[in-house]
Amino acid sequence: MKLGDFHGQMLVLYFYPKADTPGCTTQACGVRDHAPDYAGAGAVVLGVSPDTVAKVKKFHDKQGLNFSLLADDGHKVADAYGVWVEKSMYGKTYFGNERTTFVIGPEGVVAAVLRKVKPAEHDELVLAALREAAPPVV
């Protein structure tokens, strides 16, 4: 799968830290539950995490998700989008995905970047960005 596969469509590409954790589950289930809104905006949604294919598939199936999740084991895609960052928790530093969403227009141009979005606010902010980025109706 590559960005060019979505030429002519609005694309929501969101990076999340880890499958099957509370925040990531809230975010993914929000996208699932707002599927009609994303479809109404003409958008395809893809979620990306640094997890393995097996872990991503298990999370996808467990939550009954209706959009694609991509495994970026090795974080090449996250590196390319600049979201593989140093993080810290409980005094320890490590690298991981920054929770970031890119709204990409039909011509493949990034229309909006939403960094460090709270999972419960994700859909509201992304759907607003989609409305702003929507191509004019002719």
**Which domains occur in the chain, in start order?**
3-133 (3.40.30.10)
By the 10 Å C-beta count (0-12 exposed, 13-18 middle, 19+ buried), 99 is classed as buried
Is 29 annotated as catalytic?
A: no
pLDDT of residue 120: 95
pLDDT, position 137 = 56
Select from 84, 137, 132, 128 the least CA-distant residue to 111.
132
Q: Would you write out the chain's pLDDT as a tens digit for each of its 138 residues?
A: 777 788 889 999 999 999 999 999 999 999 999 999 999 999 999 999 999 999 999 999 999 999 999 999 999 999 999 999 988 888 899 898 999 999 999 989 999 999 999 999 999 999 999 998 876 555
Continuous segment of H or E residues that includes residue 73: none
User: Which one of the listed residues 11, 24, 111, 133 is annotated catalytic?
Assistant: 24
